[in-house]
Structure 1
């Protein structure tokens, strides 16, 4: 049977027409999908600009469903989940990104950094630590190290904190010598509490060498020497500190007075304290002076025949001429006699209660107040954020 070529001639145009129609249908479908994705994206962006995060998330989810290969939408969606506090959903988004085989190296590092932030915000410090360690050698390395440093300091893992701080110091982007000295002081405090005073002294010597201008290593060293019974050594350490860190004197004035009395150098210490007090009056320095039997000079308008030989308590009056101090007024009134002595106790109690909050220390970073001075704020975890002066003197 002969093949009829006329059918072939008729079939070729028909196949061409059918192929053309199929391609047009595919192109039309692709255009529809491409239109839907940008519309959903811009709709989500509009919701985000109007601070309507719930609607923005819905729009971005729709966009991701229409175009699941767009990683930027995944990043936007994950960040929105994190901002809303939906950390589990944010983790799933970023873990999904990390699981993709077609992700570029830069986007993979970005997803790893976002995942670490999810864990940090969720308070999952162990998982955050593991995620941050994977960022070593990436462009997020410095941010990761700072986050790791904060984790180790919060959990009081001073060995790991010191190692990270050393890496940051070696990067030469900022100086971390004072912070590293704090880590050594914290380790020294732990060793001293455990009874290993020799190791504690060695750590404090390292801290002093690392940050010679920082007051804490010298203060902690002097306290350790007093604990050893080396009052003379403690006095020498604090007397030298008066020259290198005079602004921190209110923190160690009482210890300087105790060391001076124990080493029989009260007169020398009194001259140092009086000179520093004249430069910068402080209630703590004043009381150290008074404990040594001295007093600041009274202003001329307060000098009378009765005050020709000043008493230690006159120091509070002298202090009031420098600063308006409820604490000084309350403590001076506590030793005075009045015509209506029967009212002394309730009045004194009211004054002491009003003055008590003024004796606190306040963090300059977060405002957290405490009755003791902290080198490391328990509220915001900032270092050296507590001024050495009481709230009343700020």
Structure 2
């Protein structure tokens, strides 16, 4: 069959017109989709700003369904789920992103970081550690190492924490020497608990090497020697503490005084305590001076301290040396009343979060911060 050239001439304009019409329809559909997707997104954002998180999530879910390839919408939805504590749903969103083969490398790293945060918030620390380790060498390397450091601290894996902290310090983002010293001190205490004295001493040596000015290794060193009956060595360790970090010395002042009495060094210890007390009056130094000095002079010192720095703790000690002509019942009642009133003021308070504790902590049980407790109790601040 031979086609008439006239029909070809007529068919060409018709084909062109149909193609043009199809392209216009497709363009209009694409424009409509692009208009609807931002509308749903901004609707969700507006609801979020108005603290209507439930409706915001519904809007974002709708936006993701309309545009399943939009990574930013997935991230917004996953972050919303995490903030609401719906960690399982956040994990599913970010895992879906990671399974997409068309996701760029930078977005894949971002999704991996978000997934690690989901596991961290959900308390799935083993999976969080694995997810954060996958970020080594990426743009999130520093954030991942800092998160790993927190994970190791929570799990009390002090050796791994020391290794991560050392790498962070080498990267130049800051000094981690004091924290590394704490990690080795924790390892020393663990070694002492299982009776491994050699490992404990080696760990304390590593702590001193990591941070020569850190006070904790010298505190622990003195306590170890005193516990094992090596009084002279305990005094030497605490003398180093006094020389390097005098503000921390009051923590061991009463124990130092008792050790000095045992070693026959009462006069020397009394002279040292008097000099320290003159520089910075402190209730712990007062307690040490009571052990070392004459009772009459101790009573005068207590009264003088009470005049210049009124406090219930010292008042309770004054009642212990009250005149002998007081009735015993009166003395006991007053002493008990003052002692109970003084108890809340005899705590240490974290400077970072305000957590209070009867005992001194190197790491705050509340905010997990290191060296956040002043060495003075609330009453002495």
The question of a shared fold, defined as TM-score above 0.5 by the shorter chain, is answered with: yes
> For residues 237 and 327 of structure 2, what CA distance do their matches in structure 1 show?
48
- Which consecutive unaligned segments of at least 5 residues does structure 1 have? 296-309
Count of residue pairs the alignment pairs up: 380
1:20 and 2:37 are equivalent in the alignment: no
The match for 1:252 is 252
The question of whether the paired residues in 2 share the 8 Å contact of 1:359 and 1:391 is answered with yes
Shift of 1:5: 4.5
Q: 2:311 aligns with which of 318, 322, 325?
A: 325
The match for 1:369 is 356
The question of whether the paired residues in 2 share the 8 Å contact of 1:360 and 1:371 is answered with yes
The match for 1:67 is 67
> For residues 348 and 320 of structure 1, what CA distance do their matches in structure 2 show?
15
The match for 1:80 is 80
- Residues 132/3 of structure 1: CA separation in 2 closer, same or farther (3 Å cut): closer
Shift of 1:218: 0.5
The question of whether the paired residues in 1 share the 8 Å contact of 2:319 and 2:334 is answered with no
The match for 1:392 is 379
1:315 and 2:301 are equivalent in the alignment: yes
The match for 1:210 is 210
The match for 1:306 is none
- Residues 225/35 of structure 1: CA separation in 2 closer, same or farther (3 Å cut): same
The question of whether the paired residues in 2 share the 8 Å contact of 1:251 and 1:388 is answered with yes
CA deviation vs aligned residue, 1:183-212 (integer Å, no higher than 9, x gap): 111101011111111221121122122211
> For residues 158 and 119 of structure 1, what CA distance do their matches in structure 2 show?
21
The match for 1:263 is 263
The question of whether the paired residues in 2 share the 8 Å contact of 1:376 and 1:383 is answered with yes
The question of whether the paired residues in 1 share the 8 Å contact of 2:218 and 2:238 is answered with yes
The match for 1:334 is 320
Q: TM-score, normalised by structure 2?
A: 0.94
Comparing 59-68 and 171-180, the one that deviates more:
59-68
> For residues 245 and 211 of structure 2, what CA distance do their matches in structure 1 show?
12
1:292 and 2:292 are equivalent in the alignment: yes
Shift of 1:350: 2.1
The match for 1:39 is 39
Alignment of 1:196-207 (within 5 A): 196-207=196-207
> For residues 168 and 304 of structure 2, what CA distance do their matches in structure 1 show?
48
> For residues 123 and 97 of structure 2, what CA distance do their matches in structure 1 show?
22
Shift of 1:155: 1.1
Give the SS at the match of 2:360. Answer: coil
The question of whether the paired residues in 2 share the 8 Å contact of 1:239 and 1:256 is answered with no
CA deviation vs aligned residue, 1:20-72 (integer Å, no higher than 9, x gap): 32222211111111110111122222222222222222222222222221111
Give the SS at the match of 1:247. Answer: coil
> For residues 367 and 154 of structure 2, what CA distance do their matches in structure 1 show?
10
Comparing 203-212 and 343-352, the one that deviates more:
343-352
The question of whether the paired residues in 2 share the 8 Å contact of 1:201 and 1:224 is answered with no
The question of whether the paired residues in 1 share the 8 Å contact of 2:81 and 2:90 is answered with yes
CA deviation vs aligned residue, 1:7-32 (integer Å, no higher than 9, x gap): 44443333333333222221111111
> For residues 62 and 389 of structure 1, what CA distance do their matches in structure 2 show?
57
> For residues 325 and 130 of structure 2, what CA distance do their matches in structure 1 show?
68
> Stretches of 4+ moved more than 6 A in 1?
none
> For residues 233 and 340 of structure 1, what CA distance do their matches in structure 2 show?
45
Comparing 338-347 and 140-149, the one that deviates more:
338-347
Q: TM-score, normalised by structure 1?
A: 0.91
The match for 1:349 is 336
Shift of 1:250: 1.4
The match for 1:154 is 154
CA deviation vs aligned residue, 1:91-135 (integer Å, no higher than 9, x gap): 111111111111111111111111111111111111111111111
The question of whether the paired residues in 2 share the 8 Å contact of 1:40 and 1:60 is answered with yes
